[in-house]
Structure 1
Amino acid sequence: MTTSSTVARLRAFAGTSVALALLVAVTAALAAACPRAVDRYDDAGLRRAVEQAQPDRTTVRLQTPLSGPESIEAAEAALRPAPLAAARAEVLAAVRAPLVPDRAQSAYGVRTTVNLKVSAPWLPRPAGLPAQLMLAAQQDLAAHARLTAGRLPSTHGEPVTAATARVEAAVTTDTARALHARVGSVVHVPGWARGPLAVRITGIVAPRDPEGAYWSTLPLLRAPALSRLPGSAPTDVFWTGGLLLAPDAGPALLGTPGHSQRYWHVAPDTAALHGHDLDGLESAVAALESGPGAQALRTAVDERLETETSLDEVLASHAQLRSGIQPLLLLAAVGTGSLAVIVLAMAGGVAADRRRAELALLRARGAALPGLAARLLAETAAVAVPSGALGLAAALLVLPGARTAPAVAAALAVTLLACAALPLRAAVAHRAVRLHDARADLATARPSRRRTVAELTVLVIATGAVVALRRQGSGSTGLVAAAPVLTGVVAALLLVRLHPLPLRALSGATARTRGLVLPLAVAHAARAPGFAVLPLLALLTALTTAAFGGSVLAGVTAARDQAALLAVGADARVETTTGTLPPSLPDRARRLPGVRGATEASVTYEARPQQSTQPVPLAGIDPDAYARLAHRTALGPFDAPDLKHRGDGPLPALASPSVAEEYGTGPYAVQLPDGTSITVRITLVRDRTPAVTGDAFLLVDRAALPRPAARTTTLLLTGDGIDAHALRATAKDSGAAVRLRAEERGRHADSPLQSGAERVYGAAVAASAGYALLALLLTVLRTAPERRALLARLRTMGMTRAQGRRLLILTALPQAFLATAGGVLTGWAAIHLLSPGVDLTTIALASPSALEGAVLRTDPLSLAVPALTVLLLAVGVPAAQAWWTSRRGSVRELRLGDD
């Protein structure tokens, strides 16, 4: 086939070619964008996890002690900069890809592992205990710090040994501020087998990147901290800090009892971390920690080399998060991908049907089937290949910084399918030379045995996938990911089987009516070619995928709302644990914008039931106001009279199941922190309550509590759009903590991988709705010529314009209603069938312990909106076609006798 003939064919079908080009370009762009978006979210999630873990956990720390049998001269030589730098080169060379070290932040040097007690009149002593300091000669100090006072420490060219009596050091601004250090201050460090080592502070420096691994792997070098000895009183604290010696002053540490140690820190380059390399990263860390890399370094550097890091735990935590999210992403990808395949196949089928007469004539004139298929392939490829390339380029430009190979493979698959759809459909339809096709009326057609066997096979596979998903969860097998799609397939096959039954009944019922339009519409619908499975399958798959994706998003939102409510107890919470709230605070809070109600509570966490050493949180509440709050939040609702104290006998109490089980229903005494006691009888048991978080609590009438125990400590606010800034400003002078439900909800989207998965599902819902409309449009276009010809013939016989519109609407209504109702029912059934096997906790919550679980929830909007849109479009397009056709000149000339 020549290029000129291909161009001529494309010009002849310019509209179809443009539509195919747009379809392929958009589908290829979506297919290429999906893996790149997942890669970007995965990379961002991994980097966020490493950054949040702090460098003291993510840095690989290698160190060697200097307490071996070597001579003092050999030990001094090992602590000088040149040997340390040579060993650092060996360490960095042992790091195996894909773990990439950040050379600028990977510090090395010499330090004391035991903090040394120092005494100086200017050092603070909070509890009378002397400060303890760590000495370190860390290399490259000048490149990572900015001088704010004095100068950097130096040895002035003199070799430092274990016997050196005086060295210089620098401290950070935080250390200088906390320890009252100044330029010129001197501390005397205890010596070992010699006199004290005098350390003179010559400079105060500000870290250029205080959060970087250079400063934060050993936090004491950056900022001091208050510490206490194990087993000592909480008030027996002392300061610990760090002194930064000159880089070549390391040998001086041998003259102290601080157990000198050489160290090399390997900080990972977060910009080089990629989620798809997670297995390789875990292997590289293991090799450097206890594998071949560590063995090679013990041979090259020191046989006593030790390695420690928590980076492997950080990677394992991210791997667990990803393993919980990936199956959900696979569900979305399989659903939308299957829908794209169906729509592309439908596009090929529409093109083949439009050219049925032409292809049948070519076959009748002797055209070979392979040659005919090759000709159609060339015509389609001329449109699909550039369009696929354009869609791929758009995805690469819009989503940079991700792997290219998966995107290219996805776009290539879309392009190949678009190219092959028309030739394969034509080859199947015209494998035998026929002048006329046998009519297969919908109402009378009988499925073949081969079709019945195929449908039963699909039913068995779908049933197995649904059962596996319910029992094993969404991450068990690849087949399970296709469970929503297979549900739509089974529903489509079932509806195709059932569709002729009401048509046959309608045909008999309308045959006895006197009108013209309704019997004609039913007869035309019943005599249409067999209702194709592919269009219905596309619509049901699209509506099911949209409903499933919407239910995932609804489940995530509901889980976060519930977790935030459990954590806060209301829409906002103002609480103090060290005293009481100001008496005027509740009234001022009630007047804030967005606040609809405020409930006061007196919460103490030190109440002790009789014969118990464990405290139980006790809340004193106003039964009426608190009952309204409990009903509004659905956290342990109860009737207010059940908790009101009647003036005699024990106080009625509401307790959690654990408290009621452990202490019984009473009555028994509860000792309050101020020494007084009350007697309670548990009359109500609830799992949750707004005033106290957790699963252990007691609630009593606040009016019956002693005055000190009845003071307000907690204020629970309800309302929409509470101004967080105004609330914090109102509670500023009270010293109370302010928590808002909206802020707590936002904390659960902790990882970019979680928020990225939500965006993927949002895109899947939108794409499914778009493909549903496109599938319907393709179906309508497929039968548009037949409807136009029918309407033209009927108009020539005297049918009015209004009757023509009603006829086309009624003809399209059975299939449109079937697809809409079937889509809604299939989506609803799929959600309820699959919800036991789909756990949304990982994607919804930052901490799974915040809620027992997050499950699929039916989203009415995602069920109803796409379905109603399909119904309106299915009815509206034929109506618009009837209106347009009735105004064409050819129809006006052909009609007879119409006024």
Structure 2
Amino acid sequence: MNPVTAPWVRTRLRAAPGAAVALAVLVALTACLAAAFPRALDRYTDAGLRQAVEHAPVDESSILVTAGPDLDGGVAHTEESVRPGHLTELYESALDTVGRPLVVDAKRSSYGVRTTETLPSPETWLPRPDGLPAQMLLAAPNALADHTRLRSGRLPEVPGKEATVSTTEVQAAVTEETARTLHIEVGSVIHLPGRQDLTVHVTGIVAPEDPDSPYWSVDSLLRTPSLRRTPGPMGASNPTYWVGGLLLAPEAAPALLSVAPTVRYWHLTPDPDALHSRDLGPLASAVASLESGPGLEELHARISPLTDVTTGLDAAFTTYGELRGDIGPLIVVAASGAGTVAAVVLLMAGGLAADRRRAELALLRARGASVRGLAGRLLAETAVVAVPAGALGYGVALLALPGARPLPALWAAVAVTAVACLALPLRAAAHRAVRVHDGRRDAASARASRRRTVAELTVVVLALGAVETLRRHGATNGAGDLVALAPVLVGVIAALVLVRLYPLPLRGLARPARRLRGAVGPLALARAGRSSASAVLPLLALLTAFTVAAFGGSVLSGVADARDRAALVSVGADGRVEAETALPAGLPGRIGKAPGVREVTEVGLDYRARTNDGRQSLPLAAVDPGEYAALAGRTDLGAFPAGELRRPGGAEGGSEDAVLPALASPTVAERFGGDTFQLRLADGSVATLRIVLVRDRTPAVYGDEFLVVDRAGLAPGAVRPNVLLLTGGDLDAGALHRAADDAGTVQLRSEKRGTYVDSPLQSGAEHIYTAAVAAGAGYAALALLLSLASTAPERAALLARLRTMGLTRAQGRRLLVLESLPQALPAALGGVLTGWAAVRLLSPGIDLTTIAVSATTSPAGRAELSADPWSLAVPAVAVLVLAVGVAALQAWWSGRRAAVAELRAGDAR
């Protein structure tokens, strides 16, 4: 290419500053969204792992290393093994044994010596509920001053700074709760007889700095006393006694050796900030090494051959891994769909720029410019705009979502920038052959090349294989990365098929349209047939966005429905008030007047109803058949005809000879069949039943075993109402609690529904899906606008020419609207069909149970994916409205401008 007097890039940017700014905004926004996805995913997954560990019981969310005192080296050696200095050395050795990426939080960890048995105290001033003496647990934890606030007195010390096995008097502190419950004061003396009697002087009362920290929660007796019951027969009224904890100075640990069996402990708490979901495998390996691997062997060598390690971290990691494994593929589906639409829009932006400069590029090739040189200059021109914009988007993502890995976000932003930079230069390859005129490229007359046909068939085969793999193996059973692209590939197939089928109706309607009266209809159809044949990218963007919106909307709708259904099955209605005994007579009336309550259904629930032999117990619900049948029908929980459950006309309430019809669960019906059987109720009365109805569920009882009978057929007062099932759209929890007045527990369906979202991974997946659907819809709208903008100058010039020939403004608006419909209608209808087909095809392999209720099983059964009508209809309507609106707006705007200006603009093209 010949040298030029002015730099190419500067000249081109000055010639089209608006296009450069638009490209920069598009690249910056896309790079920001692309970089934000992996960072948001990191934050959600890490938060989910930390919550899984923190919400586990303290004894399961940490590592407890225990070992008895060293007994094989004499008394002095045994005493030395429990002194603070030696325990600290072993604690540091234990920290060195823990393998990365598992990191121990030293501030939340603890170690020390404690007795393994509680010791009874003969002090009569300690509370004795049933005459049994209170018992004490002795512990000498490290750093007591760092984890407590002194309320009165002073912290315990050791006279002479050293205790031995012969020490018979020690000092101790107690927590405020222990002091209040056991009536302990500063100066109290507690005698503890054991293998050697020990006298404990209470010198201080302390308050834990963080009562819920692992330091205090490993053995809760050190913080809170416990009222225990002596062992005895089940259900017997066994006597109770108090057990509390005494906190000794660390230097007093040797004094415990001669009192009771003792154990050295090192409680290692993981640092939550060091837990990352990406390290789940190495974290599990580090825990396994400590439990039964090289780590345990190292502890045996450093501490004692009898060292024991217990932890529940492996179970927490496994549970979280299963949740992540179930949710992860669904997130990939959303990300791949939104990413495909964004990539298509970037390619369309480059294609639009290439079409706008087609004449310029053809002229440069005719004057001797090489394809390589032309592509290189176009690349430099685009990179000057796209690279800073991509860097800006990446920086915004870093600032908006801190605390995640920067490298995956960087690669995502680089990928977006690369696509934006290469889109225009790659289109320069279309000018490999030097041409002056390209000829017409009408959709109705274009023929696809063999290469394009082969490429399309390859994509179709891949998509069909991905869909079939997903249907057979499911999205959560390791079916491969291709499966995650199945919804996108379905959209690709639809776009390719629609582009192939689009010319057929145009050819079929072209000849009949000539016979129509008026010029607007035939002209609009002719214009639609002469539109560009290269409509694959806009259709691909629209149909992929439709598929993602339908799939994502169906996922969100399915998750919400699954949670609602699970909450409804668990509660039985919109609200539930239940008591162990009969409810007060006026309570149903008060509850019925609470805000939002429309219906109140009374149920007498007897959980202790037994067969005559006493071997089997069954929950029995005594109801009013009419009211209960209406409730079952409203909730769709085992609807049944009320007449079949009513007591026979001659049966009197309480008669053992009268056979009452019963509704039963399948397991109960299989057990008793169609024969009559008797149940002995909690009040001693007997009811004779025959199962006439079988339902999987019923509102009053949640479970696989239940019986429902007419309350009027039982003895008066046999099963008095103790459950109220409430129907209402917006129940007020506070008002219901006040109306119940502690007469029974109140459960709301809305509150129960909230308990199913207990992991940031669940909420994060929903947020990502919502963002993916919104981003896909936005980029699809942008793709449609870009497609319309590419032909806007040509349409404006056409209207100007037609106005000089007498076309009115109204006719011009109708022309542009009718011209846009042959493209918008197939896209909308094809999008609806594609979205519906994608959901129907992929639903057998998608299980939403885990993401819905954070468990592999749900009270309402498997949560399946089903098409959401709103997710199908809204995008289709939006495309039609947008296409028609843009056409009408352009016709209105063109009518306000002078025809000469429009003609010059069209001629310049």
The question of a shared fold, defined as TM-score above 0.5 by the shorter chain, is answered with: yes
Tell me how far apart the structure 1 counterparts of residues 829 and 53 of structure 2 sit (CA, whole Å): 49
- In structure 1, what is the equivalent of residue 375 of structure 2? 373
The two structures have a TM-score, normalised by structure 1, of 0.96
Residues 606 and 719 in structure 2, CA contact (< 8 A), matched pair in contact too: no
Tell me how far apart the structure 2 counterparts of residues 129 and 471 of structure 1 sit (CA, whole Å): 65
- In structure 1, what is the equivalent of residue 796 of structure 2? 788
Residues 495 and 822 in structure 1, CA contact (< 8 A), matched pair in contact too: yes
3-state SS, counterpart of residue 442 of structure 1: coil
- In structure 1, what is the equivalent of residue 515 of structure 2? 512
- In structure 1, what is the equivalent of residue 907 of structure 2? none
- In structure 2, what is the equivalent of residue 329 of structure 1? 331
Tell me how far apart the structure 2 counterparts of residues 215 and 582 of structure 1 sit (CA, whole Å): 43
For residue 390 of structure 1, the aligned residue among 389, 392, 402 is 392
Unmatched runs of 5 consecutive residues or more in structure 2: 652-657, 905-909
| Residues 1:68 and 2:71 are matched in the alignment | yes
3-state SS, counterpart of residue 139 of structure 2: strand
Q: Single out whichever of 436-445 and 810-819 deviates more from structure 2.
A: 436-445
How many Å apart are 1:115 and its aligned residue? Answer: 2.5
Tell me how far apart the structure 1 counterparts of residues 305 and 587 of structure 2 sit (CA, whole Å): 66
- In structure 2, what is the equivalent of residue 212 of structure 1? 213
Tell me how far apart the structure 2 counterparts of residues 319 and 162 of structure 1 sit (CA, whole Å): 48
Tell me how far apart the structure 1 counterparts of residues 73 and 261 of structure 2 sit (CA, whole Å): 15
- What letter is aligned with 1:553? L
- In structure 2, what is the equivalent of residue 761 of structure 1? 769
Tell me how far apart the structure 2 counterparts of residues 846 and 180 of structure 1 sit (CA, whole Å): 45
How many Å apart are 1:894 and its aligned residue? Answer: 7.1
How many Å apart are 1:531 and its aligned residue? Answer: 4.7
3-state SS, counterpart of residue 594 of structure 1: coil
Identical aligned residues as a percent? 58
How many Å apart are 1:232 and its aligned residue? Answer: 4.5
Q: Single out whichever of 29-38 and 116-125 deviates more from structure 2.
A: 116-125
Tell me how far apart the structure 1 counterparts of residues 250 and 71 of structure 2 sit (CA, whole Å): 23
Q: Which structure 2 residues correspond to residues 677-826 of structure 1 after superposition, within 5 A? A: 677-734=686-743, 736-826=744-834
Tell me how far apart the structure 2 counterparts of residues 509 and 7 of structure 1 sit (CA, whole Å): 53
Cα offsets for 1:424-462 (capped at 9, x unmatched) = 1222x1111111113232222222222222221111111
Against the structure 1 CA distance between its residues 431 and 252, is the aligned structure 2 distance closer, same or farther, given a 3 Å change threshold? same
- In structure 1, what is the equivalent of residue 54 of structure 2? 51
- In structure 2, what is the equivalent of residue 451 of structure 1? 452
Tell me how far apart the structure 1 counterparts of residues 473 and 600 of structure 2 sit (CA, whole Å): 46
For residue 879 of structure 2, the aligned residue among 870, 881, 885 is 870
- In structure 1, what is the equivalent of residue 835 of structure 2? 827
For residue 262 of structure 2, the aligned residue among 260, 269, 278 is 260
For residue 126 of structure 1, the aligned residue among 124, 129, 136 is 129
- In structure 1, what is the equivalent of residue 188 of structure 2? 185
How many Å apart are 1:220 and its aligned residue? Answer: 1.7
Tell me how far apart the structure 2 counterparts of residues 125 and 326 of structure 1 sit (CA, whole Å): 56
Tell me how far apart the structure 1 counterparts of residues 903 and 779 of structure 2 sit (CA, whole Å): 38
| Residues 1:470 and 2:479 are matched in the alignment | no
How many Å apart are 1:893 and its aligned residue? Answer: 9.4
Tell me how far apart the structure 2 counterparts of residues 230 and 339 of structure 1 sit (CA, whole Å): 67
Tell me how far apart the structure 2 counterparts of residues 893 and 46 of structure 1 sit (CA, whole Å): 62
How many Å apart are 1:91 and its aligned residue? Answer: 1.5
Q: Which structure 2 residues correspond to residues 239-278 of structure 1 after superposition, within 5 A? A: 239-256=242-259, 258-278=260-280
Tell me how far apart the structure 2 counterparts of residues 266 and 384 of structure 1 sit (CA, whole Å): 50
The two structures have a TM-score, normalised by structure 2, of 0.95
- What letter is aligned with 1:798? G
- In structure 1, what is the equivalent of residue 654 of structure 2? none
Unmatched runs of 5 consecutive residues or more in structure 1: none
Aligned-residue CA RMSD in angstroms? 1.7
Residues 574 and 748 in structure 2, CA contact (< 8 A), matched pair in contact too: yes
Residues 795 and 894 in structure 1, CA contact (< 8 A), matched pair in contact too: no
3-state SS, counterpart of residue 249 of structure 1: helix
How many Å apart are 1:168 and its aligned residue? Answer: 1.2
Q: Which structure 2 residues correspond to residues 553-632 of structure 1 after superposition, within 5 A? A: 553-577=556-580, 579-611=581-613, 613-632=615-634
For residue 859 of structure 1, the aligned residue among 850, 868, 874 is 868
Cα offsets for 1:818-844 (capped at 9, x unmatched) = 111111110111111111111111111
Cα offsets for 1:255-290 (capped at 9, x unmatched) = 11x321111111111122222222222122222333
Residues 391 and 411 in structure 1, CA contact (< 8 A), matched pair in contact too: yes
- In structure 2, what is the equivalent of residue 886 of structure 1? 895
Q: Single out whichever of 50-59 and 227-236 deviates more from structure 2.
A: 227-236
Cα offsets for 1:314-340 (capped at 9, x unmatched) = 111111111111111111111111111
Tell me how far apart the structure 1 counterparts of residues 824 and 605 of structure 2 sit (CA, whole Å): 60
- What letter is aligned with 2:97? A
Against the structure 1 CA distance between its residues 650 and 11, is the aligned structure 2 distance closer, same or farther, given a 3 Å change threshold? same
How many Å apart are 1:179 and its aligned residue? Answer: 2.5
- In structure 1, what is the equivalent of residue 21 of structure 2? 18
Q: Which structure 2 residues correspond to residues 383-422 of structure 1 after superposition, within 5 A? A: 383-422=385-424
Tell me how far apart the structure 2 counterparts of residues 204 and 449 of structure 1 sit (CA, whole Å): 89
How many Å apart are 1:796 and its aligned residue? Answer: 2.4
Tell me how far apart the structure 1 counterparts of residues 18 and 190 of structure 2 sit (CA, whole Å): 87
- What letter is aligned with 1:167? V
Residues 620 and 702 in structure 1, CA contact (< 8 A), matched pair in contact too: yes
- In structure 2, what is the equivalent of residue 539 of structure 1? 542
Tell me how far apart the structure 1 counterparts of residues 297 and 902 of structure 2 sit (CA, whole Å): 94
Against the structure 1 CA distance between its residues 141 and 893, is the aligned structure 2 distance closer, same or farther, given a 3 Å change threshold? closer
Against the structure 1 CA distance between its residues 891 and 709, is the aligned structure 2 distance closer, same or farther, given a 3 Å change threshold? farther
Residues 119 and 194 in structure 2, CA contact (< 8 A), matched pair in contact too: no
Cα offsets for 1:768-796 (capped at 9, x unmatched) = 11011001001001111221222222222
Against the structure 1 CA distance between its residues 410 and 892, is the aligned structure 2 distance closer, same or farther, given a 3 Å change threshold? closer
Residues 747 and 846 in structure 1, CA contact (< 8 A), matched pair in contact too: no
3-state SS, counterpart of residue 850 of structure 1: coil
Tell me how far apart the structure 2 counterparts of residues 654 and 189 of structure 1 sit (CA, whole Å): 61
- What letter is aligned with 2:375? A
Q: Single out whichever of 531-540 and 246-255 deviates more from structure 2.
A: 531-540
- In structure 2, what is the equivalent of residue 673 of structure 1? 682
Residues 59 and 217 in structure 1, CA contact (< 8 A), matched pair in contact too: no
Against the structure 1 CA distance between its residues 390 and 730, is the aligned structure 2 distance closer, same or farther, given a 3 Å change threshold? same
- In structure 2, what is the equivalent of residue 304 of structure 1? 306
3-state SS, counterpart of residue 601 of structure 1: strand
Cα offsets for 1:650-683 (capped at 9, x unmatched) = 1111111111111223321111011110111111
How many Å apart are 1:612 and its aligned residue? Answer: 5.1
Count of residue correspondences: 889
Residues 109 and 215 in structure 2, CA contact (< 8 A), matched pair in contact too: yes
How many Å apart are 1:892 and its aligned residue? Answer: 8.1
How many Å apart are 1:471 and its aligned residue? Answer: 1.0
Residues 886 and 892 in structure 1, CA contact (< 8 A), matched pair in contact too: no
| Residues 1:114 and 2:117 are matched in the alignment | yes
3-state SS, counterpart of residue 362 of structure 1: helix
Tell me how far apart the structure 2 counterparts of residues 473 and 892 of structure 1 sit (CA, whole Å): 60
Tell me how far apart the structure 1 counterparts of residues 321 and 230 of structure 2 sit (CA, whole Å): 37
Q: Single out whichever of 566-575 and 297-306 deviates more from structure 2.
A: 297-306
Residues 39 and 405 in structure 2, CA contact (< 8 A), matched pair in contact too: yes
3-state SS, counterpart of residue 180 of structure 2: helix
Tell me how far apart the structure 1 counterparts of residues 108 and 830 of structure 2 sit (CA, whole Å): 60
Residues 796 and 891 in structure 1, CA contact (< 8 A), matched pair in contact too: no
Residues 365 and 434 in structure 2, CA contact (< 8 A), matched pair in contact too: yes
How many Å apart are 1:231 and its aligned residue? Answer: 5.2
- In structure 2, what is the equivalent of residue 164 of structure 1? 167
Against the structure 1 CA distance between its residues 756 and 892, is the aligned structure 2 distance closer, same or farther, given a 3 Å change threshold? closer
- What letter is aligned with 2:385? V
How many Å apart are 1:419 and its aligned residue? Answer: 0.4
Tell me how far apart the structure 2 counterparts of residues 636 and 809 of structure 1 sit (CA, whole Å): 52
- What letter is aligned with 1:344? L
Cα offsets for 1:168-213 (capped at 9, x unmatched) = 1111122223333222332222332xx4111222222111101001
3-state SS, counterpart of residue 187 of structure 1: strand
Cα offsets for 1:822-873 (capped at 9, x unmatched) = 1111011111111111111111103434232112132222211121111111
Tell me how far apart the structure 2 counterparts of residues 523 and 336 of structure 1 sit (CA, whole Å): 34
How many Å apart are 1:229 and its aligned residue? Answer: 5.3
